[in-house]
Homo-oligomer: A and B are copies of this chain.
Amino acid sequence: MRTVNLLVAIAAMAGIVTGQAQAWEALPDKAPEPADNPTTVAKVELGKMLYFDPRFSSTGSVSCFSCHNVMEGGDDHMPTSIGVHGQKGGRNAPTVWNAAFHSVQFWDGRAASLEDQAKGPPVNPIEMGMTSLGAVIDRVRAIPGYKPYFEAAFGPGEVVTMDNAAKAIAAYERTLITPGSAYDRFAKGETAALTAGQQRGMEALQAVGCTSCHQGPAFNGPALPIGTGFFMKFPTIAGSPYVTKYDLVADDGRFVSTSAEGDRHLWRVPTLRNLEFTAPYMHNGAVKTLPEAVRVMASTQLGQTLDDQQVDEMVAFLMSLSGPFPLQTMPRLPATPGDLLD
Q: Which residues of A contact B (CB under 8 A)?
A: 52, 54-55, 59-61, 66, 69-73, 76-79, 82, 84-87, 276-277, 279-281, 287-289, 325, 327-341
Contact = CB atoms under 8 A, between A and B. Distances in A.
A335 B281 contact: no
Contacts of A330: 70-71, 327-330
Given A77-B340, A86-B86, A332 B71 contact: yes
Nearest to A79: B341
Contacts of A341: 77-79
A71 B336 CA distance: 12
Contacts of A331: 71
A329 B329 contact: yes
- The 7 A-B pairs at the shortest CB distance, nearest first, are namely A288-B338, A279-B338, A86-B86, A280-B338, A85-B86, A72-B333, A77-B336
Contacts of A287: 338
Nearest to A287: B338
A327 B325 contact: no
6 contacts: A55-B77, A73-B335, A73-B336, A78-B341, A85-B86, A86-B87
Chain B CB within 10 Å, residue with most, of A281, A288, A331, A332: A332
A332 B72 CA distance: 6
A55 to B, nearest CB: 6
A183 to B, nearest CB: 17
Contacts of A84: 86
Contact of A72 (B85, B289, B328, B336): B336
Nearest to A289: B338
